[in-house]
Chain A
Amino acid sequence: MSTAGTTVTPHITPLQAVWHRPAARKLLLLAAVTAAVAPFAAARWGSGAWPHALTVDLTGPLGRANDWIIDNRDSHWLFLYFFGHISNAIVVSVRAVYVVLLALGWAGVTAGAALLSWRLAGVRAGVTALASFAVCGLLGMWVPTMRTLALMIVAVAASVAVGALLGLAAGLSDRTFRALRPVLDTMQALPAFAYLLPVVLVFGIGVAPAVLATVVYAAPPMARLTALGLRGTDKGVLEAVDSLGATARQRLLTARLPLARRELLLGVNQSIMMALSMAVIASVIGADGLGDRVYQALSTVDVGTALTAGIPIVLLAIVLDRSVGRRSAGRNGWAQSHPPGRTRTVTTWVVSIAAVVAAGRLAGTSWPSTWTLQIAAPVNRAKDWMVDHLYSGIPGIGGTADAAAHYTAWVLDPLRSGLQALPWWGALALVAALAWLIGTWRTALTATLSLAAIGVLGRWEPAMDTLSQVLAAVVVTLLLGVLVAVAAARSDRVERLLRPVLDVFQTMPQFVYLIPVVALFGVGRAPAAAAAIVYALPAVVRIVGQGLRQVDPAAMESARSLGATGGQQLRQVQFPLARPQLLLAVNQAVVLVLSVVIIGGLVGGGALGYEVVFGLAQGDLATGLMAGTAIACLGLMLDRVTQPVKAKEAN
């Protein structure tokens, strides 16, 4: 922008002035292309929804693939010698971990977890672990918790291993990095619900596909952070190591990996969080454990029981998060705390392990059934009360049912008809323009091609329906999120109150939100939107809040000294300076909202989400996979349209 200012000469025509602004240049170019191509395209294929002539019907081949897999699943060599072994290895590992956990017994596991957290992350983490496992037992969820824990341990180990290997490859080779990055980007924007079906088809239901789906979801952050860490190594250090005559291998092991420790630990932490958020989604394909309890409870509209099983998931997440990830933020990492007195450390470990095992043996395998606390009934009463008093008949505003009807009729319906009435070439041009404005021609191309792919698959109309739901929910989320974040940034007390709430809401499985929102908003697109907003809000609040807090104190101080009011400071200093965070918040909101709008297929959200649910329920690969691919494309498109940070790096 500044270059545009310096090159302006007195004798410049308005057109030239416009031409000097990069954004305007891009738009003009795009407008020219559209003007040249659109009339032809419109004349040839019409101007409504995506033309039928340009679609490819994959129902036949996919249906045949479906039948082939089912018919050959127990005889073909591919399944016997490849998938079979993968599945077997997973089942054996999960079983091994589960048996160990059972053998340790409730006291052993609780004590062991507390001890481990204490050693890894300090006293507070240890106490948190102790309390969390005790609560899991108190809620009567001991056995499901152990199953989920066993599954998570295996899934996280596999994700970290796969992610680290990929990250290593990408960190060391530029070519691999370039090839891998778009794949990782895509994976991160992809709702997990979309790819359950192919995994189920190959592996059947059960633990094996659940672990695999989790790994697919949780490995990308590890890979990305590993690669980032390795590539971020200080050039000076590398040169120093080189000058000492280190081999490539030595260089990696002594300089690059240790220097990337922070990113590696953060990667492990991210993988754990992603894996746990899959715990409930994976229950749709028979993963058992806590997720299954949540899922079963929701099928009887039993929010209390769903919450009873949801709390341990949140607790597991908190324990794992506190004991693995938080250390990375501190000064000294794990590796540094090892050296002094190795023998003494080993002795301590041996003694404590012995103590843990002894405690476990003495206390018995399962949590004593008399020590449990039933919270389901009171929670359900509270929910019923809320529904009774909010659903309708609030004087003046009506009730949640009316709000839902208005939201659907006044926001969603016009938006949907608008999007569906948009000529297809117009939609493509619009997406290209948006993506190009904040990104590069590359992101614009990806976004446009993704949208076109949806059309080619013949999922244009439902995709526009889903898109309208996402857009509306994102706008609401951002409005609320910025409001809350501003409040939090201005008052430390609000911030302190908010932090644990955000922590909990962010780790709560998405499914738990679904049923109360149906009770409040009826069946349809409105409850899906409500769930999506609740789910995406914490991330937005957190990112925007961070952005506002990071604003240079000097800038704030000078604004204050110039006599700016609070509102002026906010508008003219904080928001402009926090622009990168605000954009990141938009991006996150879009990705998170999309993932819940898809699950909204379970509460009448319709569109692509319903088709995925249908595909899973009926074992119909054609419907499910095409909808899943369309969702992936939609996610990719939305991600590219809202992702400015990468563009700067690429430039």
Chain B
Amino acid sequence: MKRKALIALPATALLAAVATGCGAADMTKQASPYANAAGAKTVTLSVQSWVGARADAAVAQYLLEHELGYRVDTVQVDEVPAWDALSQGRVDAILEDWGHPDQEKRYVRDKRTITDGGDLGVTGHIGWWVPKYFADAHPDVLDWRNLNKYAAQLKSSESGGKGQLLDGSPSYVTNDKALVKNLKLDYQVVFAGSEAAQITQIKQFAKEKKPFLTYWYEPQWLFNEVPMVEVKLPEYTDACAAKGAKDPSTIDCAYPTTPLKKYLNADFAKKGGKAARFLKDFHWTKADQNEVAQMIAEDKLAPEEAAKRWVERHPDTWKKWVG
């Protein structure tokens, strides 16, 4: 039995390869093996690891399933690999992109495998934040010029004698190392490694009312639970942005404010029918997104349940998307 199996397996594999492929096998045309199984129409959405993006996906999924009759799969991958996946058709849409000029040029303008899906309606902003209780006690911490004064208070076991600037996932857009160097700050960037780890650490600090300085962004549900105030960095200018685009290590100004965008796989945009139209029309506000995100992350509701509650409360908003 065994020996036959031994010989038969590779032989079958070879046979299958020969049978399926006297021609070319384009990997960009290979969808997920789980898609469209058992006769369902499937849409695959990329979900990024932060909760805002999960809120977008949860609501889109709920409406696609309950209003339009699709089956929705979600896949979590980091941002840059998600762009690759989108261009290869492994996923059909990214609902919240924070700006990836390199990928946009490569896939949207040059290769045309991805199309612009319009604005999400939410504006994203990255910056440095301190907890409100710390800012209230020391209002001058809110100017970057005074940060060095507080470095000693913000030390941790990982920051090597300097103040700790807590960063999150390596996949997020960040210039923090360059900023610390160019602004001559007595700080060490400590990467939490993932957003989950960063949030856990922030909450732990907040519970103890300890001071901290963190890379963070809005919209983000965590603000409702741990109120934070932004530290003012040198103003963002076009000149500084141009300089930074050439050499990222020279950046010495704040992060820009980014209108978040949706992107669709080009084929899906053309042939995706109702689902593609729905995703293009999907457009909501920061308050909407936070409402869902908080239900997911704070009240620990299943994303589906959170989406359901939001959908019941705001029919006026989504009726326009499915029409």
Q: A498 interface residue, CB < 8 Å from B? A: no
Q: A161 interface residue, CB < 8 Å from B? A: yes
Q: B224 interface residue, CB < 8 Å from A? A: no
- A620, closest chain B residue (CB): B80
Bound CA span A30–B95, Å: 61
> Do A296 and B90 touch across chains, with their CB atoms under 8 A apart?
no
Q: A549 interface residue, CB < 8 Å from B? A: no
> Do A98 and B34 touch across chains, with their CB atoms under 8 A apart?
yes
What residues of chain B lie closer than 8 Å to A522, measured between beta carbons? 156, 201, 204
> Do B191 and A617 touch across chains, with their CB atoms under 8 A apart?
no
Shortest beta-carbon distance from A324 to chain B in Å: 13
What residues of chain A lie closer than 8 Å to B195, measured between beta carbons? 299
> Do A335 and B2 touch across chains, with their CB atoms under 8 A apart?
yes
- A207, closest chain B residue (CB): B33
Q: What are the interface flags for A43-80 relative to B under an 8 Å C-beta threshold, 1 for contact and 0 otherwise?
A: 00000000000000000000000000010011001011
Bound CA span A348–B167, Å: 62
> Do B27 and A92 touch across chains, with their CB atoms under 8 A apart?
no
Q: A219 interface residue, CB < 8 Å from B? A: no
Q: Identify which of A89, A102, A614 contacts B16 (C-beta below 8 A).
A: A89
Q: Given A102-B37, A204-B85, A619-B81, A605–B157 Cβ distance below 8 Å?
A: no
* Stretch of B70-78, B135-143, B230-238, B278-286 contacting A (4+ beta carbons < 8 Å): B70-78
Interface residues of A in 590-640 (CB under 8 A from B): 600-606, 609-610, 613-614, 616-619
What residues of chain B lie closer than 8 Å to A401, measured between beta carbons? 204
Shortest beta-carbon distance from A224 to chain B in Å: 16
Bound CA span A377–B38, Å: 32
Q: Given A204-B27, A523-B192, A89–B198 Cβ distance below 8 Å?
A: no
Q: Given A304-B300, A365-B38, A604–B3 Cβ distance below 8 Å?
A: no
Shortest beta-carbon distance from B189 to chain A in Å: 11
Q: Identify which of A94, A523, A525 contacts B198 (C-beta below 8 A).
A: A523
What residues of chain A lie closer than 8 Å to B50, measured between beta carbons? 299
Q: Identify which of A286, A304, A408 contacts B77 (C-beta below 8 A).
A: A286
Q: What are the interface flags for B203-232 relative to A under an 8 Å C-beta threshold, 1 for contact and 0 otherwise?
A: 010011000000000000000000000000
What residues of chain A lie closer than 8 Å to B74, measured between beta carbons? 296
Bound CA span A425–B20, Å: 55
Shortest beta-carbon distance from B110 to chain A in Å: 9
Q: Given A295-B76, A391-B204, A91–B191 Cβ distance below 8 Å?
A: no
Q: Which residues of A pack against B, CB within 8 Å?
A: 70, 73-74, 77, 79-81, 83-89, 91-95, 98-99, 102-103, 147, 150, 157-158, 160-161, 164-165, 168, 200, 203-208, 253, 257, 261, 264, 283-286, 288, 292, 295-296, 298-302, 304, 334-335, 338, 365, 376-377, 380, 387, 391-392, 401, 404-405, 408-409, 413, 514-515, 518-519, 522-527, 600-606, 609-610, 613-614, 616-619
Q: Knowing that A288-B32, A299-B54, A523-B192 touch, tell me 13 more A-B residue pairs with CB under 8 angstroms.
A: A84-B27, A87-B25, A88-B30, A161-B10, A205-B90, A296-B49, A299-B51, A377-B300, A522-B201, A523-B198, A602-B197, A609-B193, A619-B78
Closest 5 CB pairs of A and B: A617-B171, A84-B25, A95-B33, A80-B24, A614-B170
A sample of 5 cross-chain residue pairs with beta-carbon separation below 8 angstroms, ordered by A number, consists of A165-B10, A288-B34, A523-B193, A618-B78, A619-B84
